[in-house]
Amino acid sequence: AEREQGITIDVAYRFFQTEKRSFIIADTPGHERYTRNMVSGASTADLALILLDARGGIVDQSRRHASLSALLGIKHVVACVNKMDLVDWDEDRFREIESEFADLAERLDIPDARVIPIAALHGDNVVDRSDASPWYDGPLLLEHLEQVEVRGDPARDALRLPVQWTIRPRGGRDDERTYAGQLAGGTLEVGDAVTVLPAGAHSTIAAIETFEGTRKEAVPPLSVAVRLADDLDVGRGDLICSPEHAPVAASEIDATVAWMGEVELRAGARYALKHTTRTVRATVQAVHSKLDMTTLEDRPAPARLKLNDIGRVTLRTSAPVLADRYADNRITGAFILIDEHSNDTVGAGMVEETRERERAEQARRDVTWHDSELERDSRWKALGHRGATVWLTGLPASGKSTIAAALERRLVEEGRPAYLLDGDNVRHGLSDDLGFEPGERSEHIRRVAHVARLLADAGVVAVVSLVSPMEADRRLARELHDAAGLDFHEVFVSTPVEECERRDPKGLYARARAGKLPGFTGVDAPYEAPERPDFEFDTAREDGDDAVARLRDALAV
């Protein structure tokens, strides 16, 4: 496929070494369609080589490569101005490109950026100095690669040892446990005081073991097994760190995510989040912006991230994540998102900020669904009524609540149990802990859907009135009912936004237009209209009583 299209698609790795250093080259694709492949290849790189054509200079693709390199924390970038022989080794042309690249590197805050003129076809200035460029007195490409200092002083970093495995020696005492993992930051010495998170227990390092034997100290990226002076409960996913520089046990993370999944990332979606040796569940609370790879600027509030998009999101986790900022530590500041259904890696994330979140104390317990001893058919036969859910969706002030209240009244007057689940009412109790961020709105809808299913199972007609702007949330509600064998009627109240805003009974549209109510559906937040609703009503043109009559007739079947 690469030969047919004349482009690089996958990451190709090549290995070589000189007398001074060993190298791994990750040849990554440059095409925008394969951004995820470049992110994968560059995520573990110490230095980036960006190839420029001397004739074309810095193009959009070059800017994208430099931007991704900076985003992924690569501090050393070399621009190789190739094909200098095709411009007759023109020094002025090289200096022009050199100046432009220096400006780009400054804008991207790349601390070490160099520009080297080469002609790869003949090897000029790659390994040997070229006679064609007497005006260039900088380092040769290989010379620079052999000399550049890619690792800083580990003593300046905070100690980070993610525990991957607990080892109990054969024939040893029961308390002789060691904890194995790869050092991700700082230095480790026998006698050091340490803290084990998330428990917060304290101890000291009693011994450090490696494959080569016992040693007094260790630095990254060495794999070690450490023995603690105290008998603590330590397992996979825990973190051994210095007491003075412990990370936050965070349950909310602001991060930049490179999206690699075919299915789009949206607010409310749930994934497994793998961070070092720890895996937790995470919910996307909000998608804040998407990076424009051409202008290198953020576009505010996209509804979703598509394949190869890079955006800033907020995640909420089911258990604490012991993360650092990616700018401080590329190992403990990185994570991946995994689709729990397919087990595919769908996102690569870089932590920008972490926060603790207060949680209500809950006793841990096993939860099992208990079937009623009264079968549904027997219940419904005794009641003389079938249960069902009528789900009304539409923009604020579209007329959903008016139709829902009238339908509830009509059914009850005819002797049929019905109950209105209005979104605002549910927020006074069941969802009083939730706000209006996209992820929390999704959770609110999920809760209402489960309550509606229980009511329908009991023989009640659950009449739900919710904006429920995202198609995926409404699909979940339908799937819950389908799985239980219950009737579900999706009703799209399609009143135009102009009419909704004219009514504006609560003054919400006016507040949103004034910037006092951000994220308001119909103004600055998206609404995904149902493509195939069971019913559709436009209250600007249709009478509400007719809508109620049609819904009542459908429920009589």
SS3 487: strand
For 312, list phi and psi in degrees, rounded to 5: -105, 130
Q: Would you say the C-alpha torsion 263, 267, 268, 273 has a positive or negative sign?
A: positive
CA–CA separation, 537 vs 493, rounded Å? 5
The string of DSSP codes covering 351-376 is: EEEEE-----------------SS-H
CA–CA separation, 443 vs 403, rounded Å? 24
* Packing angle of the helix pair 471-484, 438-457 (nearest 10 deg): 20
Torsion angle of alpha carbons 93, 97, 102, 107, nearest 10°? 140
**CA-CA distances (angstroms) from residue 262 to 19, 342, 345, 358?**
44, 12, 11, 34
- Longest Cα–Cα distance of the chain, Å, equals 98
The string of DSSP codes covering 174-208 is: TT--EEEEE--BS-EETT-EEEEETTTEEEEEEEE
Beta strands in 356-495 (DSSP E): 388-393, 418-422, 461-465, 487-493
CA–CA separation, 471 vs 462, rounded Å? 20
CA 276 to chain centre: 15
CA–CA separation, 460 vs 41, rounded Å? 56
Residues with Cβ < 8 Å from 66, sequence gap 6 or more? 48, 50, 77, 101, 104, 105, 108, 110
CA–CA separation, 458 vs 20, rounded Å? 76
CA–CA separation, 458 vs 454, rounded Å? 6
Catalytic residue among 40, 398, 468, 494: 468
CA–CA separation, 548 vs 89, rounded Å? 80
The label of the residue with tokens 């550049």 reads: 148
Known catalytic residue at 468: yes
Residues with Cβ < 8 Å from 102, sequence gap 6 or more? 113, 115
- Catalytic center residues: 468
